[in-house]
Structure 1
Amino acid sequence: MDDELRTRIETEAEKHALFNALKHDSDADVGAIMGSLMGENPDFREHGGEVPGIAGKVVAQVNQLDAEGRRARLEELDAELVEELDAEDEEDDQVLPDLPNAEEYDEIRMRCAPNPNGPWHIGHGRMPAVIGTYKDLYDGEMLVRFDDTDPETKRPDMDAYDAILEDIDYLGFEPDEVIKASDRLEIYYDHARDLIEKGGAYTCSCSGEEFSNLKNDAKACPHRDKDAETTLAEFEDMIEGEYSSGEMVLRVKTDIEHKNPALRDWVAFRIIDTPHPRPEAADYRCWPMLDFQSGVDDHLTGMTHIIRGIDLQDSAKRQQFVYDYFDWEYPETIHWGHVQVDEYDVKMSTSTIKELIEKGELDGWDDPRAPTLQSVRRRGIRGEAIREAMVGLGTSTSNVDLAMSTIYANNRELVDDDAPRFFFVRDSAEQSSAGDRTSSGNGVEYPLIGDYPEAAEPPVHPDHEDRGTRHIPAGEAVRIEADDIPDHGERVWLKGLGCFEHTRDALQYTGDDISAVRDEGVDVIHWVPAEGTVPVRMRTMDGDVEGVAEPDFAETDVDDIVQFERVGFARVDSVARDSEEDAETVTYFAHE
């Protein structure tokens, strides 16, 4: 990394740290600024391993300033950020922009319209997070409509309906109404009949290639001018299953010379021979295309505002033709860019994740390596942390990057105060050559010598003395992580016990004078006794980590959120009790 880039990183980190500290009226936090720092400076990402260290030093300097000094320094670096802070204070911390023309409606109604072809990945969480927040801001209503009218290419997953509703609940919202488009086929048929009678649709038996050539040449299909009676009869035959897939479609009449060929006489209904997986819809073969189904439903369910991807701008234009035929008023529409989430090796795609699960490369939708809401929920990340991060992205038309570090920072604030602390020594089998002792598979074991304390009594939580202490007996030997082994003759501070010098065969107690840490820089490390520990498997995004935790960890329960000191936060997924021989407690790593 050259000096110019390092200086840029330091300057940008300082601005973000100052802004973060002033906004929250507290010390800045490295994790809290990493998302915005990397998101606004994409060229920093290739140096992702070095940036946190550089930013950490800057944050430490910022935290030495008082509020007045921080504000003065930020004014010097970027006066516009100070103005932004002042504006946020005036807006009562409302992150989302006002809905357009909201004052013209008696009640705001918005919809979340998932395709239930699988459980949600993290990016899917943006829609309910934002719509649910608007619902709260305007005291409005949120509809969940399952757009499940494609039983073939985006075939519904029967488990996904409930899984998606569970994800919405996890994010902190309850829909006011839930409907399934596959229950509403007769409604769509009735509106198609009305459209035909208005002269707004016709049946077409051209092949896809034939119609594409005509459309691209701005030439009318030879079926375009057939009378309504013929079209109605052929449409009824489509409904009755008289045609096979590809033989007949129903098209909406638009402008055959429209400057955008994608809007010319688009398909409203087609035949799909594959039965729908829902028994209630399995007998249907004539299915509406999403633009027709969604357009009709948005009107009938009283949607006032729609949020959709910028890539779906043509959908609004197609649907406008239908709205014009029926003399309906189109809802207010907001288009936003896509959200990309960092940190995962697996592509954030429902079909990709499903394929990896089927191949056995992922254990399921809640595998910690899967970029899904089920996965982060199992890891102990609260829905509120994701909701706040998603809402913070706003509704920009530009594609946006969401750093998982932002979600982690949000979650840390939510769980830190309640999470009890424990020591957990990770398996160091691959690192056993780092010390004199061979690895037991659960850290490196060292005898203790000298007049050391019989046990450590560290606090359950360092900020809450009233919660008491943990009892960790030292015994005759301890296990520590291979990376923590000091060189011969060097010292370490075993947290809660005191200072020990590494001899050839053991750790020799040298006393409890804390100045060894404060003034001489002796490292403080965690440890566990050699006996009486709790076997733990910690599942992470990089694979499973085995190790042992201190004895008191045996008292934890499923769903407890804990902090393994110097390791990170984790959720207890299953608990091994004394009656379970060779069993291990399983945890899911959340974040540092």
Structure 2
Amino acid sequence: MNDDLRAQIETEAEKHALFNALKHESDADVGAIMGPLMGENPEFREHGNEIPGVAGKVIGQVNQLDTEGKRERLAEIDPELVEELDAEDEEDDRVLPDLPNADEYDQIRMRCAPNPNGPWHMGHGRMPAVIGTYKDLYDGWFLVRFDDTDPETKRPDMDAYDDILEDIDYLGFEPDEVMTASDRLEIYYDHARDLIEKGGAYTCSCSGEEFSELKNDAKPCPHRDKDVETTKAEFEDMIAGEYSSGEMVLRVKTDIEHKNPALRDWVAFRMIDTPHPREEAEEYRCWPMLDFQSGIDDHLKGITHIIRGIDLQDSAKRQRFVYDYFDWEYPEVIHWGHVQVDEYDIKMSTSTIGELIEKGELDGWDDPRAPTLQSVRRRGIRGEAITEAMVGLGTSTSNVDLAMSTVYANNRELVDDDAPRFFFVRDGVEYLLIGEHPEVAEPAVHPDHEDRGTRTIPAGEAVLIESGDIPDHGDRIWLKGLGCFQHTRDALQYTGDDISAVRDEGVDVIHWVPAEANVSVRMRTMDGDVAGRAEPDFADTDVDDIVQFERIGFVRVDSQGDDEIVTYYTHD
């Protein structure tokens, strides 16, 4: 290696090392820069064995600089890379990436198109969270369209229409329009008639197996070239219900030799014998497939941007055939990967959750163990916390994982400041208090807000403490608000109120409730119900209050009964 080449390698290595260190806010290393270094400088490859040694020395010098020094040096040798770093920082600060070609539209119009076959699980919340956020960012328009044109395999749940709208409201958004596809059958029929007139569709009575064999062999269906009048008449018979399920379909005429068999002459309408559960739609038997119905509605409603799962890429390709026949412009499409949510043992599937409810393994859609929006709402998690977490996932085509810890962190910021504190003891063990201890504890309602005052907890003659907090014989504990006690003779002997026992000697501070004057509480959690006792003032809380049980976590008050208060555990 000559001196000129060595100097060139040192310069390039320094540039990449500076960029890498600034981008990741850490020290650079040889392994991280070798890829871009060799990729941009193919002439270095014949010296691949020597380059790590040369680059290593440069990297060592780079890592001795502070952040400001690295930035100044990178600006000297490659100002464009500094601009790239700044652009990435701006991108990171954005809530979501820019919508493609947004400036070409007078108004951004997006739609959320749920199938109302059941209440929403957590994953469903991503779509309205992102679309609603885009609406706010662009001062756009937001449609909720219920795609309920499959009354058999994805049979609508009559309660789900309202449940889903409640979930969208819970997440913090209000649609500009709500529509139901099963109200629009005549619109779809009219567009099918126009498509037939254009020679873009034909009726087909092949069995599914027969057509599949033809399609896979790239051979045309024998009905493909029937005349328009025959197709029109047979389609009208479909609308009139003259055929049974499986006897006749209407197909969109595409390219029978298309490289993707899934796009060859796809079904636009089929017959379904099962009546729709909505009274307004129960007489219909000829139903559009989702790709046809959705494509028509997106155009008629002026949708500019569609977000859909990456597994639905073929939908856009199918719909483009219809749009080409009508000479329509297809909306911008963003495909994203699926979202998985940790912490749940139950599959995020509407049908799976429904089956568990039917079997009695879940109490309902809002059971704390269910991965549903109804469940987290009942637990006291605010919709804003979920929306923020979902938006934070972006719109990547890769599958993404939503950590519930992120939702909890968001929610903690929202509720912590307002949540009063209370003592709650699980599996309580009773201990007598002996010695001249205070008769009443007065801990703060909220440790960060002295102006909210204190709460009053009578000590009485005995207290309940959690079994895990029982000290060994002879050891001490600090009963919060009362003072220091030593475990002796199966009682707690008061030893004083010198806080140095906690600060200097490491005595544990624990919560407690009086053995007599307390409140019975059932706390519902993802792991089952927990019974316990709370301090007497907890009886004054109201349903829907969010409070913090000290050393346990936040809970939502679900019901107030004479014998028991039921709470739902939110998070720690």
CA distance in 1, matches of 2:319, 2:504: 72
Does structure 1 residue 587 correspond to structure 2 residue 544?
A: no
How big is the shift at 1:524? 0.7
Contact residue 340 and residue 400 of structure 1 kept, 8 A:
yes
CA distance in 2, matches of 1:337, 1:424: 42
CA distance in 2, matches of 1:392, 1:228: 51
Give the letter for the 2:444 counterpart.
P
Does structure 1 residue 417 correspond to structure 2 residue 397?
A: no
Query: How does 1:125-164 map onto structure 2 within 5 Å?
Result: 125-164=125-164
Q: Which residue of 1 aligns with 2:519?
A: 534
For residue 569 of structure 1, give the secondary structure of its aligned residue in structure 2.
strand
For residue 315 of structure 1, give the secondary structure of its aligned residue in structure 2.
helix
Q: Which residue of 1 aligns with 2:48?
A: none
For residue 99 of structure 1, give the secondary structure of its aligned residue in structure 2.
coil
Q: Which residue of 1 aligns with 2:537?
A: 552
Give the letter for the 1:549 counterpart.
A
Q: Which residue of 2 aligns with 1:322?
A: 322
Does structure 1 residue 102 correspond to structure 2 residue 87?
A: no
For residue 448 of structure 1, give the secondary structure of its aligned residue in structure 2.
strand
Give the letter for the 1:445 counterpart.
E
For residue 95 of structure 1, give the secondary structure of its aligned residue in structure 2.
coil
**Cα distance per residue 1:521-573 (max 9 Å; x no partner):** 11111000001101000000000000010011011000000000000000000
Does structure 1 residue 451 correspond to structure 2 residue 436?
A: yes
Give the letter for the 2:173 counterpart.
F
For residue 535 of structure 1, give the secondary structure of its aligned residue in structure 2.
strand
Give the letter for the 1:511 counterpart.
G
For residue 495 of structure 2, give the secondary structure of its aligned residue in structure 1.
strand
TM-score by structure 1 length? 0.82
Contact residue 424 and residue 534 of structure 2 kept, 8 A:
yes
CA distance in 2, matches of 1:573, 1:83: 53
Give the letter for the 1:155 counterpart.
R
CA distance in 2, matches of 1:541, 1:416: 21
Contact residue 88 and residue 94 of structure 1 kept, 8 A:
no
Distance of aligned partners of 1:87 and 1:418 in 2 relative to their CA distance in 1, 3 Å threshold: farther
CA distance in 2, matches of 1:497, 1:85: 56
**Cα distance per residue 1:193-224 (max 9 Å; x no partner):** 00001000000000000000000000000000
Contact residue 458 and residue 517 of structure 2 kept, 8 A:
no
Does structure 1 residue 383 correspond to structure 2 residue 363?
A: no
Q: Which residue of 1 aligns with 2:446?
A: 461
Does structure 1 residue 236 correspond to structure 2 residue 236?
A: yes
**Cα distance per residue 1:89-130 (max 9 Å; x no partner):** 746932200000000000000000000000100100000000
For residue 445 of structure 1, give the secondary structure of its aligned residue in structure 2.
strand
CA distance in 2, matches of 1:227, 1:83: 62
Q: Which residue of 2 aligns with 1:496?
A: 481
TM-score by structure 2 length? 0.85
Q: Which residue of 1 aligns with 2:264?
A: 264
How big is the shift at 1:504? 2.2
CA distance in 2, matches of 1:490, 1:72: 51
Q: Which residue of 2 aligns with 1:117?
A: 117
Give the letter for the 2:430 counterpart.
E
For residue 364 of structure 2, give the secondary structure of its aligned residue in structure 1.
coil
Q: Which structure has the greater CA radius of gyration? A: 2
Contact residue 538 and residue 587 of structure 1 kept, 8 A:
yes
Q: Which runs of 5+ in 2 are unaligned?
A: 1-20, 26-65, 75-81
**Cα distance per residue 1:241-296 (max 9 Å; x no partner):** 10000000000000000000000000000000000000000000000000000000
Give the letter for the 1:252 counterpart.
V
How big is the shift at 1:519? 1.2
Distance of aligned partners of 1:562 and 1:122 in 2 relative to their CA distance in 1, 3 Å threshold: same
Contact residue 91 and residue 97 of structure 2 kept, 8 A:
no
Does structure 1 residue 207 correspond to structure 2 residue 187?
A: no
How big is the shift at 1:585? 0.3
CA distance in 2, matches of 1:91, 1:307: 20
For residue 460 of structure 2, give the secondary structure of its aligned residue in structure 1.
coil
CA distance in 2, matches of 1:510, 1:372: 50
Does structure 1 residue 192 correspond to structure 2 residue 192?
A: yes
For residue 143 of structure 1, give the secondary structure of its aligned residue in structure 2.
strand
CA distance in 1, matches of 2:91, 2:522: 46
CA distance in 2, matches of 1:317, 1:515: 73
CA distance in 1, matches of 2:342, 2:170: 21
Distance of aligned partners of 1:493 and 1:138 in 2 relative to their CA distance in 1, 3 Å threshold: same
For residue 202 of structure 2, give the secondary structure of its aligned residue in structure 1.
strand
Does structure 1 residue 373 correspond to structure 2 residue 373?
A: yes
Contact residue 304 and residue 332 of structure 1 kept, 8 A:
yes
**Cα distance per residue 1:177-206 (max 9 Å; x no partner):** 000000000000000000001000000000
Give the letter for the 1:482 counterpart.
S
Q: Which residue of 1 aligns with 2:223?
A: 223
CA distance in 2, matches of 1:493, 1:89: 49
For residue 395 of structure 1, give the secondary structure of its aligned residue in structure 2.
coil
**Cα distance per residue 1:483-515 (max 9 Å; x no partner):** 000111111111111111111220011111111
How big is the shift at 1:236? 0.3
**Cα distance per residue 1:349-369 (max 9 Å; x no partner):** 000011111111111110101
CA distance in 2, matches of 1:539, 1:413: 22
For residue 93 of structure 2, give the secondary structure of its aligned residue in structure 1.
coil
Give the letter for the 1:535 counterpart.
S
CA distance in 1, matches of 2:545, 2:433: 33
Contact residue 457 and residue 469 of structure 1 kept, 8 A:
yes
The structure 2 residue matched to 1:563, chosen from 540, 548, 557, is 548
**Cα distance per residue 1:312-359 (max 9 Å; x no partner):** 000000000000000000000000000000001111000001111111
Q: Which residue of 2 aligns with 1:572?
A: 557
RMSD in angstroms over aligned alpha carbons?
A: 2.0
CA distance in 1, matches of 2:312, 2:321: 15
CA distance in 2, matches of 1:90, 1:401: 24
CA distance in 2, matches of 1:106, 1:319: 24
Q: Which residue of 2 aligns with 1:275?
A: 275
